[in-house]
Amino acid sequence: MGADPRRLGRDPGLQAERTALAWQRTGVAAAVVGGLGVLAAAHRGSWALLAVAAVLSALGAAAAGYASTRPHRSLDLVRAPTRAPTAASFPSDAASDLAPVAPSAAGLPSPWSRLVATAAVAVLVALIGIVLALAS
């Protein structure tokens, strides 16, 4: 194991890291589903659908890469309560996970635009799937 995150003043629940990983998983999932759409469209010989699915897949892959590399501003905002890590505080991980954190004045960056973009990718791939299912 590495250094105790509490010594570094980090959130012991690693919320920001988990959120970045969730973005990465979602980006990978979007890329895979887009790839599936590419395969299905290629099999039907539909070049328009293939092109759209390829763009969506690339967007998903880009989102995954971005999520894993960008410096997460949230990391600085999610800090553990400044307490000395004592032996007694170590077993109470669940409790310390929910100990109140002083909210910063700036607040977390809004995930709105990224959420909407990701959902739009999912909706577009869903439309491709509906077209493929309806096409005879």
Partner 1 sequence: MDVTEPDRRRPGSVYRHGTEPDPRFSLANERTALAWVRTALALVAGGVGLTSVARLVGLSRWVDAVAGVMCLLGGWLAISAVLGWRRKEVALRTGLPLPAPVALPWLAGAVVVGALALAFVVLTARGR
Binding site for partner 1 (CB under 8 A): 11, 13, 15-16, 18-19, 22-23, 25-26, 29-30, 32-33, 36-37, 39-40, 43-44, 74, 77-78, 100-101, 103-105, 107-113, 115-116, 118-120, 122-123, 125-130, 132-134
- Closer by beta carbon to partner 1, 87 or else 114: 114
Cα(31)–Cα(24) distance, integer angstroms: 11
Record the tokens describing residue 10, joined without a space: 């980090």
**Residues 9, 82 contacting (CB under 8 angstroms):** yes
- Closer by beta carbon to partner 1, 7 or else 108: 108
Neighbours of 78 (CB within 10 A): 18
